[in-house]
Amino acid sequence: MKAPWFWKKGGCPVTRFLLSPFGMLYGLITKYRMSRNAGWQSPRPVICIGNLVAGGAGKTPVVIDLAKRIQSAQVLSRGYGGSERGPVKISSEHIAAQVGDEPILISSTSQIWVSDNRQAGCQAAIEDGAKAVILDDGFQDPSIKKDLSLIVVDGGYGFGNGHCIPAGPLREGISNGLSRADAVVIIGDDTSESEALIKGRCPVLHATLVPNADDQDWQHKKVVAFAGIGHPEKFFQTLRDLDCTICETVSFADHHPFTQSELDDLKRRATQHGATLVTTQKDLVRIAEMHRDGIEALAVRLEWQDVSKIEDLLARHII
């Protein structure tokens, strides 16, 4: 689903007001649930990369980066959008419809498991030789104790309007969430002024998503861009920052399963503009290989503003 427009900071106050009692109840239920379960203690370190809002915040690039930094770590995901319940270790034979788009993307650089039951998935990864387990999401899951918890925040979106679902995008109250976090990672320019809300509660790290150094030259390239991620505009802005000539943009809901007719329409639009059809890597893995002709993906990586901060954090808690 697409996030309702009133979830954004400054969104419709009337709608927010009408739904706020339900949001308060949602937040209280989450707080109660988190306090009721002591959680299973893993024999290996567990690192959780989560967020406080529903929808994309940039967790996947952080997971990929940390998996490269932590020796012999394996990743664990719920496999949102996939049919597999697991635990199953992802191989080259799996597709997004089975295990989800994010796990497929992560599997290109790291060993990753998908499991509906996080404790069972964690145990499977450890039996497979994992010296540490990185949870892709799971910050609001009390079933496993975490040795290190990082909250990821999109600098442009922040915490939205500051209210819990359905009045806003929050999965739980900001204060309650920050009280369990070891640090917050803000990705991109902090135009939402999120750091002001976080300051004094836990450390803040800054990072940006940058195109891979070995990627092609996008400058002045004519493109028709499409994306089915949490915040498609963020992807479109990245293309603008690369000085692409954007002829048209098309947004879909997060994790959208593209149909043949939708792809044919997108390719037709690109042809009409004499442009290249471009999307994100996460979207590309949801498209069957036989239908990827004529579609390019912009590859990005995480770049830390001060890499020593994340290295020190890992050294204190994990390595």
Amino acid at 287: I
Whether the per-residue pLDDT at 213 is higher than 60: the answer is no
Whether the per-residue pLDDT at 62 is higher than 90: the answer is yes
Does residue 293 share a domain with residue 227? yes
Phi-psi region of 212 (alpha: psi -120 to 50; beta: other; left: phi over 0): beta
Q: In 3-state terms, the chain is what percent helix, strand and coil (to 5)? A: 35, 25, 40
Whether the per-residue pLDDT at 75 is higher than 70: the answer is yes
Question: pLDDT class for 211, splitting at 50, 70, 90?
Answer: confident
Query: Is residue 271 one of the residues assigned to a domain?
Result: yes
Does residue 268 share a domain with residue 188? no
Q: What is the pLDDT of residue 216?
A: 63
Q: What is the pLDDT of residue 141?
A: 93
How does DSSP classify residue 300?
E
Query: Is residue 115 one of the residues assigned to a domain?
Result: no
Q: What is the pLDDT of residue 319?
A: 63
Query: Is residue 242 one of the residues assigned to a domain?
Result: yes
- How do strand 88-89 and strand 112-114 relate by DSSP bridges? antiparallel
Amino acid at 44: R
Does residue 277 share a domain with residue 182? no
Q: Give the CA count within 13 Å in the CB-facing half-sphere of 171.
A: 18
Q: What is the pTM of this model?
A: 0.89
Query: Is residue 34 one of the residues assigned to a domain?
Result: yes
Whether the per-residue pLDDT at 125 is higher than 90: the answer is yes
- Give CA–CA dist 154/252, Å, rounded: 19
Query: Is residue 95 one of the residues assigned to a domain?
Result: no
Locate all alpha helices (DSSP H) within the chain, ordered by sequence: 13-36, 59-69, 96-99, 101-107, 118-127, 174-179, 194-198, 232-241, 260-273, 281-284, 307-317
Q: What is the pLDDT of residue 215?
A: 59
Does residue 277 share a domain with residue 293? yes
Q: What is the pLDDT of residue 178?
A: 95
Q: Which domain holds residue 241?
A: 222-298
Does residue 264 share a domain with residue 168? no
Query: Is residue 146 one of the residues assigned to a domain?
Result: yes
C-alpha closest to that of 229 among 5, 106, 60: 60
DSSP secondary structure of 190-246: -TT-HHHHHTTTS-EEEEEEEE-TTSPP-TT-EEEEEE-SS-HHHHHHHHHHTT-EE
CA 317, 203, 201: angle at the middle one, nearest 5? 115
Q: What is the pLDDT of residue 14?
A: 80
Query: The tokens of 163 are what?
Result: 């209210």
Domain count, the chain: 2
Does residue 178 share a domain with residue 275? no
- Find out whether 294 and 312 touch, Cβ atoms under 8 Å: no
Report the share of the chain in percent with pLDDT over 90.
71
52-56, 100-104, 249-253, 284-288: segment of lowest average pLDDT: 52-56
Does residue 284 share a domain with residue 309? no
Does residue 265 share a domain with residue 247? yes
Does residue 11 share a domain with residue 139? yes
Query: The tokens of 115 are what?
Result: 């499991």
Does residue 294 share a domain with residue 235? yes
Q: What is the pLDDT of residue 88?
A: 96
Mean pLDDT of the chain: 91
pLDDT in tens, 236-293: 988 998 889 999 999 998 889 999 999 999 999 999 999 999 999 999 999 999 999 9
Query: Is residue 29 one of the residues assigned to a domain?
Result: yes
- Give CA–CA dist 242/283, Å, rounded: 19
Query: Is residue 103 one of the residues assigned to a domain?
Result: no
Does residue 166 share a domain with residue 136? yes
Does residue 309 share a domain with residue 289? no
C-alpha closest to that of 63 among 97, 99, 111: 111
Burial (0-12, 13-18, 19+ Cβ within 10 Å), 98: middle
- Find out whether 126 and 160 touch, Cβ atoms under 8 Å: no
